[in-house]
Amino acid sequence: MQAAPQPVVIHQPTNPVVQHTYMLPQIEALSPPPPGMVLGRSRSQWSTIWRMLGLVLVTFLLVNLLVVIPMGIVENAPDMSFISALCSLPVLLLFIFIRRPRLIHVMLAEPSDTGVTAHPLPGERTLTTPMKTRFRHHLVRDSSLLDIPATKKLWSIFFIAIAISVTLFVMMLNSPDNMLLIQFAILVGIPCWLIGFGVPVFAWMSYSTRSLGLPTRRHEAEAALTAGFVSTLPALFINSVLFPMLLFSIGIDELSTIGEFLILTISAPVGEELCKAAAVLCCYHMIDSPRRGFQVGFTVGLGFAMLENILYITSSIVTGGFAGFAFTAFLRGIGSIPGHAVWTGLSGLGIGWLLSKKPRLGGLLPKKMKAQDAGFILMDSKTGRVVQDATGTGTGATTATGALAMWNLNKYMSTVQYSKDKHWKLPRTPMIGIGLAMLGHAFWNGSSTIVLLVVEKAAGETAAIFALLGWTLLMVTGLLWIGKNIMDSLHSVPSTVDNDFNSD
């Protein structure tokens, strides 16, 4: 609790004989919020999306600057490392500014016979009331539930962007010298680029939140996404510096066919999945059950894929125009993005089982701190009505503590029904979960490379491209089927665990 400020005393001489003393009233000290306090808030379904789009762009720039620092050290170019560190500092400060905790200053004036009618406020303001009131104010974290647009709405926006891109490609193919069309294409290209790498991520987030039946606080969802963004930095260092150095030490050129194949099938699966699993473990304070562990891992994977998408989709626009953008955005939106999410979700599931048994890993993890919190009731700004659904899929959420408990109870009761059906046996240890993630990732990368090389050698480059496209669509179909079965099987996994999360 913040200490009460000392009163300020002013001596004002009004005549030589009598002096008047004025005492400025004290500002009430901050106090913890009362238990069960519920706040109303108008919904803003797009605020999280805009905030995360801005943050991922900042993180992308920061990651590319920071990875140059060790590269300069390895290549004995200290000036390159120094310039990179100097340029990354303002970007890092911007990252910290965007990720600063969002706090709400709550001020309450309640009728009281022993109160007063004027209360000094911070910032040299005064609150006056028509009756005697008691004043209190609290600083609480903005812990409202994640509320993003519905899955169907997000996918509709994505496919509209794809359709516009294909249409512009055809029109520019027929009229390559039409300057008005070129200017319009440039104007449309920027929002299509943002939609292409970002919207599918939020569509999968909306789908997973609804499917898992776990209401998620917005700041926790943003933290898991950010952890996924940041995990790309060590993964990029492993793929770009450490593993190529290892290949060089054993006499393999990283740009050779075998070198690229080893990077795709060993360095990327092992390095990236370990980095993402470490990011999940850094979010341990959010994981209160195995199912929540999967959700956190799924979200971390989405964050990793989102930042990676910027590179791939930007490259596709540069090399292939609108046709390249449409093709790359579509395949990554329905394939690579859920692939990263499902693989890391399995790692998170194993970590969730471990934390359900050893919440602090024998004291290795610090205690989970309980922030001053408050419940939120989400209001529809157009109708003024309270929104009652807690899925986070665009229909709103009520986030008071009782509502969360009721939602978990309802999902627990439905879990009993789901558990009677046949379901897959999912990993119950981090080793198995991370191992499956690595195998899935390695198969995705390795099989595609083998198909491309074999068909190109046997039938030429054109046939290889068509073969790779067919194989990719087959893998995407298989991945979506596997992901659907995993999501269904997760209803047999506990969503709550009754233990003390500050002790083992």
- Secondary structure element (H or E) that encloses residue 113, with its range: strand 103-121
Quick one: 407 and 313 in the same domain?
A: yes
Q: To the nearest whole percent, how much of the chain has pLDDT over 90? A: 40
Grouping H, G, I as helix, E, B as strand and the rest as coil, residue 141 is strand
Whether 497 is covered by a domain: the verdict is: no
Clarify whether residues 238 and 288 are in a common domain: yes
CB proximity list for 366: less than 8 A, separation 6 or greater: 360
Q: Do 256 and 279 sit in the same domain of this protein?
A: yes
Instruction: Assess whether 220 and 132 both reside in one domain.
Output: no
DSSP letters, 1-63, are: -PPPPPPEEEEEE-SSS-EEEEEEPPPPPP-PPPTT-EEEEE--TTHHHHHHHHHHHHHHHHH
Same domain, residue pair 441 and 387 = yes
Q: Does 172 map to a domain?
A: yes
pLDDT tens for 338-372 read 999 999 999 999 999 999 888 877 777 887 766 66
* Structural contact between residues 80 and 116, judged by C-beta atoms closer than 8 angstroms: no
For 269, the domain range is 151-492
Task: Clarify whether residues 219 and 329 are in a common domain.
Answer: yes
Instruction: Identify whether residues 122 and 179 lie together within a single domain.
Output: no
Give per-residue pLDDT as tens, 106-135: 888 889 988 888 888 877 788 888 899 998
Count structural domains, the chain. Answer: 2
Of 502 and 298, the structure prediction assigns the larger pLDDT to 298
Residues 128, 191 share a domain: no
Q: Are residues 356 and 470 in the same domain?
A: yes
Looking at the fold, whether 370 and 478 belong to one and the same domain comes out as yes
Residue 397's nearest CA partner among 377, 383, 373 is: 377
DSSP codes, 373-431: --EEEEE-TTT-PBP---SSSSS--B-SHHHHHHHHHHHHHHHHHHHTS-------SHH
Tokens describing residue 388: 């009652």
Same domain, yes or no: 323 and 223 = yes
Count the neighbouring beta carbons within 10 Å of the beta carbon of residue 298: 34
pLDDT tens-place string over residues 403-445: 444 444 444 444 444 445 567 889 999 999 999 999 999 999 9
Residues 155 and 136 in one domain: no
